[in-house]
Structure 1
Amino acid sequence: MQHFERRRDRFDLFNNMESAAVNICFPLELPDYRPWCKEHGLAPFHVFLCAALRATLKIDNFRYRMHEGEVFMVDRLTPSFTVINEHNDLNFAMFEWSDDVRTFVARGIAAREEASNMTELNLRYRALSPREAKHQVFVTCIPWLAFTSIQHPTATLASPDIPSLAWGKFRAGAPGELVLPFSVQAHHGFVDGLHIHQLAQQIAAELNAIMSTSPQ
């Protein structure tokens, strides 16, 4: 929290605005990790989700949250993401974190199947306490679209303290690379454009780190 205290005046500035959100959409350049996923029998979406969430935990600015008017820092995450069901209605999947990529992927797939087989809205997150609910990063994937902008809903415009990530349709980049539209929304009192740049770099680094290992 020492780093946050250095920017508390910036936090106060943005937190007093009608909307404190900063939202940047950009083409995210990544190593093409899909052949590695195929080799190891792992779903590319869930491997990318693992890398993206690991990356947010490596950058302090994405770990700040607000609860009852106080700023605190999370040290773990409860992974969650959007899915669609058989009626093409949105639902939410949530599962327990694992540091092991294969276990992370297996739990994510199980949560996806559970949520996508529901007709009603999955309200498991309502079982979390208000503070426990802060241990999330809101995630959505729109694989059909190469979007160039996006607006994420927020419960309170003035307090978008839980970051939102979205990504879209993959396309080939330079040899050995791929590119996808990527969106980051966060509280500007915590996160600046530099930190979003750092997050992009860290996601690529996490993918490279994952590919340097052979999951059991």
Structure 2
Amino acid sequence: MENFERRRDRFALFDAMDSAAVNICFPLALPDFRPWCKAQGLAPFHVLLCAVLRAVLKLENFRYRLLDGEVIRIDRLIPSFTVVNQHNDLNFAQFDWSDDLHEFVARGIAAREQASSMVALNMEYAARTPREAREQVFVTCIPWLAFTSIQHPSFSLAEPDIPSFAWGKFRESANGRLELPFSVQAHHGFVDGFHIHQLAQQVAAELDAMMA
């Protein structure tokens, strides 16, 4: 937590505000990983989800959380994301982490199928301990829209400590790359614009590493 202690005064500044959230939406440039996914038999959404979550774990500022009024640093993530069920209503999918990409994708697809087949809201997350609840980030994908802004819901405006991520419709960019709208919301006491820039770079680096 030495790195956090250097910015505790910044944390105190933003944490005292009615809303401590920073929310930035930007076009995220990525290598076009879709042909590689097709060759590997992997679903592109779940591969990108893995890249985003791996990037989060490598950037300490995105691992800080608030628990019982104290700042903690998580060491693992519980993957979760939103799905659409057969009635076009939102539901939540969660699954256990795997370092193996193929297993990660398989577990993610199984969780998606389970959540999308449910009519009632999946309340699995409600059974987690307060510490376990902090071992996640909120992820949603809106593949139909090239959105330019988004407002993420928050349990508490004063404590937006669990980061929220959203991405939208892919479009082809120059030099064989992809571009997609990407949104990051986090506690400004933990995360600045520079750290969001680092996250964007790390997500692209994770995809490059997967395809190497």
TM-score (norm 2): 1.00
Cα displacement string for residues 144-179 of structure 1 (whole angstroms, at most 9, x for unaligned residues): 000000000000000000000000000000122000
* Separation of aligned partners in 2, 1:91 and 1:15: 30
Cα displacement string for residues 90-131 of structure 1 (whole angstroms, at most 9, x for unaligned residues): 000000000000000000000000000000000000110011
Cα displacement string for residues 60-116 of structure 1 (whole angstroms, at most 9, x for unaligned residues): 000000000000101100000000000000000000000000000000000000000
Runs of 4+ in 1 over 3 A off after TM superposition: none
* Separation of aligned partners in 2, 1:52 and 1:131: 21
How much is the aligned-residue C-alpha RMSD, in angstroms?
A: 0.4
Aligned residue in 2 for 1:166: 166
* Separation of aligned partners in 2, 1:113 and 1:131: 27
Question: Counterpart of 1:131 in 2: which secondary structure?
Answer: helix
Question: Counterpart of 2:174 in 1: which secondary structure?
Answer: coil
* Separation of aligned partners in 2, 1:140 and 1:65: 20
How many equivalent pairs are there? Answer: 212
Aligned residue in 2 for 1:192: 192
TM-score (norm 1): 0.98
What are the equivalent positions in structure 2 for 1:1-216 lying under 5 Å apart? 1-212=1-212
Question: Counterpart of 1:12 in 2: which secondary structure?
Answer: helix
Q: Which runs of no fewer than 5 residues in structure 1 stay unpaired?
A: none
Cα displacement string for residues 37-72 of structure 1 (whole angstroms, at most 9, x for unaligned residues): 000000000000000000000100000000000001
Q: Which runs of no fewer than 5 residues in structure 2 stay unpaired?
A: none
Percent identical residues? 74
